[in-house]
Structure 1
């Protein structure tokens, strides 16, 4: 087996250990291809090298099915992670996120993700922008999104945590996961991330997912809630170029919360 080495001199403490633990935790249920971990140290992570191929509708549908099974494998708690500290963001500039066993998705999302990052980007925001983001966070804090489309509550899912298109590798053995920010979370976190930056065959992925785990009507209307952290993080990491998309998500969240209350 060929080896791929991911490395960075001066990587934050525990960064590669967290990634290795996340990959192993996602592989544990044996329902989804996950890149194999060989070993790691403070400055590098050695992985099995995988062969890439082009995505197609069949492999996308199969990936959706496997993702549903991965989520249903569960987690000890919302906010739990397989290693501490935990990180989010690119190799060049990750930032630490809190590891805490939370009583609900709302607690995880508001207290450990949204509010800290919103504070970090406050100096990039106008008063109106700040008010919009704060209103969206307050709408989530009301608890309307602990379930899906206002139905019941969700148990903690085993989520990848950074499932944008660049962290999927399409291989002859099926779509393979890389570069996780794995934790116990809400399964819509992963589904929402897939929508952000143009995942190929997205409708086929969603169809495969719903073949295993049927979803309530209007579930996609909840997705802005679940990609809101990633959008705020992109403002923090890359600047105001992502602010417009973030504010659009905030307005959608506010509107969705009002709709669910009606």
Structure 2
């Protein structure tokens, strides 16, 4: 496989003058590179050819998702400079400490992005969440989409690797059976990030940028629920600003655990039984409310 600098030069059309490794994430290596003129870019690169991903892998899904999210007015996503099956190049975000005004701005931007809408629940491209495939087959029903394409695949994967017990699986299956009732008032498909945890929010002088999406038409409460899953600075400011711009449906707080169950099952699949307790607490809370 070509060196990273050669790949970036080909995709960006600019000569790379410096390369700075930033570590690894899942199956890819991360870099900041400088190109002619002094501009910095962010790079994800597979270290070697991967038959696991092929030409329709996670970089394609991320690039298409960023482009789609970016079509909504003021969407806080980075620019896609170029991509291929083993490299993704985006604009570089110089990070700063978060502040309350940036948090309010992010709330308004998320509301605008969500209300830009989607044709259906799902997407027209094959999805990924991290390195795991994400079934984006489009659907008109969010409850069935969520149960069959967001919960069941990761429940089965986690059970197959022994990270969840048969009793655990039965609890999640009860959530899947009851999701029509638990989902609340039906809403149209929203244009969501799909993996919006704290680490995917980069704060900078101009506000905030959201990165690494698993973008698709989904339920807008999902992004807000995930922001609270691992904590976000000034989260109340984000939610208050969002709620002012696009008021959430009654009972949204009672559905936070329901929306958190999908990413928690993904974490069980990726990291094992360390997330089992949190995932099962979310499943029980989704069914019965806080205990």
Q: TM-score, normalised by structure 2?
A: 0.80
What value does the CA root-mean-square deviation take over the aligned residues? Answer: 1.6
- Alignment correspondent of 2:98: 55
Structure 1 moving runs of 4+ over 3 Å? none
Selected match of 1:106 from 115, 122, 143: 143
Selected match of 2:252 from 219, 233, 237: 219
1:126 aligns with 2:165: yes
Q: 1:145, CA displacement in angstroms?
A: 4.0
Contact preservation (8 Å) 1:139, 1:253: no
Contact preservation (8 Å) 1:52, 1:172: yes
More strand by share: 2
Which structure has the larger Rg?
2
Give the number of aligned pairs.
245
Q: What pairs with 1:1-262 in structure 2 (closer than 5 Å)?
A: 1-9=39-47, 10-11=49-50, 12-13=53-54, 14=56, 15-81=58-124, 84-89=125-130, 94-122=131-159, 123-140=162-179, 143-146=180-183, 150=184, 152-256=185-289
- Alignment correspondent of 1:260: none
Corresponding residue SS for 1:121:
helix
Matched residues in 1 for 2:118 and 2:168: separation?
35
Unaligned runs of 5+ in 1: 257-262
Unaligned runs of 5+ in 2: 1-38
Matched residues in 2 for 1:44 and 1:189: separation?
28
**Which gives a bigger RCO, structure 1 or 2 (Cα 8 Å, sep 6+)?**
1
Matched residues in 2 for 1:133 and 1:255: separation?
12
Corresponding residue SS for 1:45:
strand
Report Cα offsets for 1:211-252 as digits up to 9, x if no partner: 101224431110111111100110011000000000100101
Report Cα offsets for 1:105-127 as digits up to 9, x if no partner: 11211111111111111132223
Greater mean deviation of Cα atoms: 7-16 or 64-73: 7-16
Report Cα offsets for 1:173-200 as digits up to 9, x if no partner: 2111110000000001101110111111
Q: TM-score, normalised by structure 1?
A: 0.89
Matched residues in 2 for 1:166 and 1:57: separation?
18
